[in-house]
Structure 1
Amino acid sequence: MQHYIFGYGSLINADSRAKTGQTGRSWPAKVIGFQRHWSVMSPEFGMSSVAVVQRSNSFCNGVLVEIDETELPLFDEREAGYLRAQVPMTQIQGYETTLPEGVVWIYHTETVTPPNDQAPIALSYADVILAGCLSINESFASEFISSTGGWEHAILNDRQQPRYPRVQTSLDTDLLKPHLEVVSAGRICTITSYHQAVSVMTNAPYCWEVRPFQPDDASQLVDIFRRAVLAIDDCFYTALERETWASSADDHEVFQQRFLSTKPLVVRSPNNCPIGFAEWREDGYIDCFYIDPQWQGKKVASALLLAVEAAVRELGATRLYANVALNAQGFFSSHGFIKGSTNSIKRNASVLINNTMYKPL
């Protein structure tokens, strides 16, 4: 009996299939009773993938791919984290041609985990799928877009630093752009080299630009530091503790010289003013990490942290770590950091408490 895989994501792309094993002919088709979503399937890659779940009265398009039964273990390895199940031929519908008979397999999941800032929809992966769809026709690509749930979540342009292990760098992304614009509505984040400007978009009404420090930023960063510290709630640090903490920036000249040395990453507002910054080292250590109180709660910190992570990954760091103030620990935990040791820092008559937190990369 001939075996087939119903591919509904990167397996639509013939070149992508060939990176895993040998396959034969393929036919454009629909599978009935399954719904396709973006879902976090491989968090170790820092991206989401498409997955299908069983849903009556639903369908998704894809390709019916001819495969020798001996090749299935290779594709099982590729689709680790998914469940492989047999689908009756009665649930497979061709577009214009009669489909062959045989045993059809599909890789599916039982639950969907929506994309997030740590595992966004990565364009390096979406490009491969859309290129495969366009090799069939434009309407097939449009149908992929319209029949896939989850586009409202974070989208990352990682083309210069691809997270998808089977990326196809030679694709003409201009051909894909019209289809992606339908779902992105300007929400695509871009992570480029640290030495260039870094534009980051999360699910917020702005596209944040995170760029390297410039000397003219120094006095504004000192002001952000002071105001951010003094705005911390009393439940975390007393007024005296906050004043003591903020007083470390009283000598502006020293602090400005520090910035010239550490060269932090800086987030700018839509009117080009610095609204946050982070000092970091090549080994993944984050030192100062402060957001202007007026811009807190608008995903600025998420954008900044994403940019720091991109920078240290580029330099080969294997983890991020920081000594995190009590008020910021919830934020860092939500971004995958794990709490470690408790630290006591004596400043004048005050003792400030924080925790070392780290995130493996």
Structure 2
Amino acid sequence: MSPPYFFGYGSLVNLGTHAYHDPQPARLSGWRRAWVHTELREVAFLSAVPCAGSEIDGLIAAVPGADWDALDGREYAYDRLPLLGAVAHGLRPAPEISLYAVPRSAQMPGSARHPILLSYLDVVVQGYDQVFGVAGVAAFFASTDGWEAPILNDRAAPIYPRHQLLEVAQRELVDHHLDAIGAKVIVVG
């Protein structure tokens, strides 16, 4: 029996943030991403939200031995939901796939008190750049809502616990897209 898989659409796309097996590019239909805040975290973070006619790219990866404990711990602010036939990927036979999403009833928009961490966004964009290229990064920004939340520039002293070192071109790619959407970037301090 094959292990179950998860569908990652944010920091889990960046292979530098985890060691789950058999990562594969995939596309999820009927969902978008959104920056949200919950009472469980101090900052805004990505969630998947149902949205008919939308698609988001991401990665699927195996959860060896169906041992969800470590991943559930990492994704503690989310509910783990089964995805039935909504994920396009190249694996045969198709594995069981789950998605982590914040329940709608717990979602609040990001705000000045609950901003998006630039160190977190950098990790996500780096992952999309590595897996899907520059076009994939553009698709990430286009298929994500909630950019009204301010972006806290914590690059000099990253707050996000799984921050990664970005190449200059990757930082410039993030900054380019933030400028293009008119994001409000605030400096720590």
Take 1:34 and 1:109, find their aligned partners in 2: how far apart are those partners? Answer: 13
Q: Which amino acid aligns with 2:10?
A: G
Take 1:66 and 1:42, find their aligned partners in 2: how far apart are those partners? Answer: 29
Q: Which residue of 2 aligns with 1:129?
A: 124
Q: TM-score, normalised by structure 2?
A: 0.87
Q: Give me the CA root mean square deviation.
A: 1.9
- Gaps of at least 5 residues in structure 2 are none
- Aligned positions of 1:96-175 closer than 5 A: 98-100=90-92, 101-111=94-104, 112-136=107-131, 137-168=133-164, 170-175=165-170
1:25 alignment partner, SS class: strand
Contact 1:43–1:119 (CA<8 Å) still a contact in 2? no
Q: Which has the larger radius of gyration?
A: 1
**Is 2:78 the counterpart of 1:82?**
yes
Contact 2:14–2:126 (CA<8 Å) still a contact in 1? yes
Take 1:128 and 1:173, find their aligned partners in 2: how far apart are those partners? Answer: 13
Greater relative contact order structure (CA < 8 Å, 6+ sep): 2
1:135 alignment partner, SS class: helix
Per the TM alignment, residue 186 of structure 1 is displaced from its structure 2 partner at its CA by 6.2
Q: Which amino acid aligns with 2:91?
A: L
Take 1:24 and 1:42, find their aligned partners in 2: how far apart are those partners? Answer: 32
Q: Which amino acid aligns with 1:7?
A: G
Contact 2:37–2:110 (CA<8 Å) still a contact in 1? yes
Q: TM-score, normalised by structure 1?
A: 0.47
Take 1:157 and 1:72, find their aligned partners in 2: how far apart are those partners? Answer: 32
Which of 69, 73, 77 lines up with 2:69 in the alignment? 73
**Is 2:5 the counterpart of 1:4?**
yes
Contact 1:42–1:49 (CA<8 Å) still a contact in 2? no
- Gaps of at least 5 residues in structure 1 are 192-306, 308-361
2:69 alignment partner, SS class: helix
Identity %: 28
Pair 121,40 (structure 1): closer, same or farther in 2 beyond 3 Å: same
